Structure 1
Amino acid sequence: MKHLAIFCLQTSLILSSFSYSLQQSQYSSIFSFGDSYTDTGNKVILAGPATPDLWINKPPYGMTFFGHPTGRLSDGRLIIDFIAEALGLPLLPPSLATNQSFQQGANFAVAGATALKPSPALYAQLDGGGVKLPPNNISLADELGWFDAMKPSLCSSPQECKEYFGKALFVVGELGWNDYGVVLVGGKGVDEVQTYVPRIVETISAATEKLINDGATAIVVSGISPMGCAPGNLVFLASQNAADYEPDTGCLKGLNQLSQDHNTQLSQALKTLGGKYPGVRITYADLYTPVIGFAASPVQYGFDGADGALRACCGGGGGKYNFNLRAACGMPGVGVCAQPSAYVNWDGVHLTEAAYHRVADGWLRGPYAHPPILSTA
C-alpha cells in the first residue's frame, strides 16, 4: 500500500506538471479588470504625484515581496500576480502606465471601482446627501473603454484580434463590493442593498459577454469575499445585537448573506452564459469559501489563531479589529504587525499576500474555481 501511495503521488505530480506546462503554452497574455483586490497601480497613477494623502502608496504597503509600495493594496502580491507567475507571464502592468508594452497583458483594475456607473442621484439619497461620489468615479464600463482604446495597439484586424485574444486569459476580478459598500455606509440597510444585486450581476455578466464577443475564449470571473468578515465593516457597521454575528466566525451575518446572494446569482448567470457560448471556457472563481474558511479556522490555514482571522495587520485602531480611518495603514506613525503572513487581513479591507496566495492556489488548481485555471478539462 505504501508503494501504491508513492506511485499515486508521483503520478499526480506528473499530471500536475503536464497541466502546468500546457497552460503555460496556451496563454500568451492576461487582461484583467476589477477593483482594489486586483489593481496593480492604476489608482496611484490616476491620483498623481501631487496627492500627499494617498496612504496606499506609502510604506509599509508592498513590504513583504516588493520591499516598497507598488500601488497594490497589500503587503505584497495579489491573486492576479500569482496567476501570472503560474502561467509563466510577467506581472501585469497597470493599463495607465506610460512607456510600457502591453503585448503580454494589461491590468485595467482600479481601487474603488464599481460595477455600476456611480450616479449622483443615488448618492444624493444617501446619508442625507452627505455621501460624495468617489474621487475617480471609475466603473467597469470605464475599464472596458480603456481596453477598447488599447486594442488597436495590440492587433490590427478583426481576424488578428480574434486570434490574439483567443490565446489570452481574461480575468474579471472582484466587483460589487464598492457598489454595496457605499450604499451601506450611506445609511441603507442590507435588505435595501440586496435589491441592487441583480443589476450588478447583470452588469458583470454583460461585461463578460462583451469580452467574449471581442474574441476571449477563456475568462475567469470572481465572486466577492464575505463582506461581514472585513475588519473595516466590523467597525463601521457594528451591531449591539449578538445575534447579528456568526457564532463560528464572528463575522456579520447580514453582510455575509449579501455576499452569498451576489455570488449565487453571479455563478448562475455565468452558467447561463456558458450555455450560450459552449466554445468558451468561463471559470467562476470563488472568493467567499476560502476567506470564510480562514475566518472560521485560521490555524488550519496557517494563520494566527488569536488575531489572524479578523484583526488587521496594518492599522492604528487597536482593539479587536485594529481599524480606524483616522489612523489608516500608511499614515505617519501607524504600526504594522511583525508577521503579515500570520494574518488574513492587511489593512481592514484588503487581504495579505499570504491570504491571496492561498486563494490563488485554489483558483489555479482547485477547489475554489470551477473549472480550475490550470485544469485541462
Structure 2
Amino acid sequence: MDSSMKVICMLMLLFASVVQASGCYDSIISFGDSLADTGNLLHLLRSNGHFVSSAAAFPYGETFFHRPTGRYSDGRLIIDFIAMDPSSLAAMGIEDPFGSDASLGTQLNWFKEMLQTFCNTPSECKKYLQSSLVFLGEIGGNDYNGAFWQGIPIEEIKPLVPKVIATIASAINEVIEFGAETLVVPGNLPIGCSPSYLTYFMSSNESYYDSKTGCLNWLNEFTEYHNKLLQETLNRLRELHPHVTIIYADYKAAMELYNSPSKFGFNSTISACCGVGGPYNYNSNVGCKVPESSVCEHPSSYVSWDGIHLTEAAYKWIAHGLLKGTYMTPRISDACILKAPTISHCKETMKA
C-alpha cells in the first residue's frame, strides 16, 4: 500500500477513547459522508489531483481547531463528540456531486487494507473489532443530494432508497463477518431544514412549509421514508445476528434544534452562518468561501454552518441527544453493559 493510501486509511479510521460510552470501547471505527468525515475526502482529492475541498480553507475549523482540518464545519463533528458506488448512481442518471469515489464500498476496501496493520490473523482481527464501536453512517445523503440537485423528480428518487438501504445492510453484514459486535447506524438528517434545499426548492406555496420551523415538509417526509426503511432493515439484521448489538441513532435529535432553538442557544436555524445571498444565506455557486461570502460573528448561535453541513454547536447538541437522550435504540449505555465482559477479555488478550 503506498503512503498516500496509508494516510487516507488512517484518517478514515478515527481512533479515540469513548469517554461518553463509559470507557467500554478501545476505539471508534467510522464510515460515512461529509457529516462524519474528519479529513479523509480532502486527502483523497489531493492524492487524485482533483479540486481542493472548500474544507481545506478558512473559515472551516475556525471555532475549535482554529484552522481548517478537512471537516465540513466550523469545528468538531458528531463523531468527535461521542453508498452507493458512483457507477451504480450513473446507471440511474445521477451524477456524483463531489466528483470522487469515497463511497461506502471504497471505504470498506480501505478498512480491510488498514485492518491488516492492526492484526496478523483473522482471530486477532476479530478480537480487535470486538472491542471497537463501529459507526456506519450516515449513508445515503450524498446519493440523494446528487439526485435532488440535478432536478430529478422525487418519484424517480424514491426507488433509490431501498438500494441505498441494501448497500448499508451489505456493509453491516461484512463488518460483522470481520468480528464487529457493536454497531451504531444513524438515520439521515432532516434535509427539509437545510438552507441548500430550502434555496433550491424555494416556493411561494406556504403549505409546503412547516409553519413552526420553516422547513420543507415534503423533503423531511422523504428523510423519514429513508429512516423508516432503515429501521425495518436493522430489525431484520438483529434477528440474523442475535449476538451483535445494532444501535439505531435517530437523527430526530436534530429536529429538537429546529423545534425549540432558543432552548439550545440558537438564534438562526435555517439560514447559513457562512454564505452569501438570499433568505437562507446560501448560494451553490459560491458556498462558504472568503472573501466572496460573509461569516456570522457567532457560529454557536447558528444550526447551519455552510448551508449543507452543521455547526459544531449543532453537532454537539445532536451528539448529546444521542448519548444522553432517547434517540439511540438500544441506548449505547445498555450496549456498553452487555459488552463489558467480552471487551475486558479482549483488552487483556491484546495486551498479552
Q: Secondary structure at the match of 2:332?
A: coil
Count of residue correspondences: 318
1:277 aligns with 2:241: yes
Aligned to 1:345: 304
1:156 partner amino acid: N
Shift of 1:119: 2.7
Which of 287, 291, 295 is residue 258 of structure 2 equivalent to? 295
Change (3 A) 1:153 1:174: same
Q: Secondary structure at the match of 1:239?
A: coil
Asked whether the 8 Å contact 1:59–1:69 carries over to 2, the reply is yes
Q: Secondary structure at the match of 1:273?
A: helix
Q: CA RMSD of the aligned region, Å?
A: 2.1
Change (3 A) 1:321 1:184: same
Q: Secondary structure at the match of 2:274?
A: coil
Matched ranges for 1:1-377 at <5 A: 23-48=21-46, 54-83=53-82, 115-119=83-87, 122=90, 125=93, 131=95, 134-287=98-251, 289-304=252-267, 308-317=268-277, 319-375=278-334, 376=337
Change (3 A) 1:260 1:133: closer
Unaligned runs of 5+ in 1: 1-19, 84-114
Shift of 1:138: 2.4
Q: Secondary structure at the match of 2:117?
A: helix
Unaligned runs of 5+ in 2: 1-17, 339-352
Q: Secondary structure at the match of 1:155?
A: coil
CA distance in 2 between counterparts of 1:27 and 1:125 reads: 42
Aligned to 2:346: none
Shift of 1:327: 2.6
1:252 partner amino acid: L
2:198 partner amino acid: L
Aligned to 1:99: none
Change (3 A) 1:58 1:134: closer
Change (3 A) 1:237 1:152: same
Asked whether the 8 Å contact 1:249–1:292 carries over to 2, the reply is no
Q: Secondary structure at the match of 1:171?
A: strand
| Identity %, equivalent residues | 41
Q: Secondary structure at the match of 2:41?
A: helix
CA distance in 2 between counterparts of 1:293 and 1:24 reads: 25
CA distance in 2 between counterparts of 1:199 and 1:277 reads: 21
CA distance in 2 between counterparts of 1:316 and 1:348 reads: 10
Asked whether the 8 Å contact 2:286–2:293 carries over to 1, the reply is yes
CA distance in 2 between counterparts of 1:120 and 1:272 reads: 25
Shift of 1:330: 2.6
Aligned to 2:347: none
CA distance in 1 between counterparts of 2:118 and 2:219 reads: 41
Aligned to 2:342: none
Q: Secondary structure at the match of 1:282?
A: strand
Change (3 A) 1:149 1:228: same
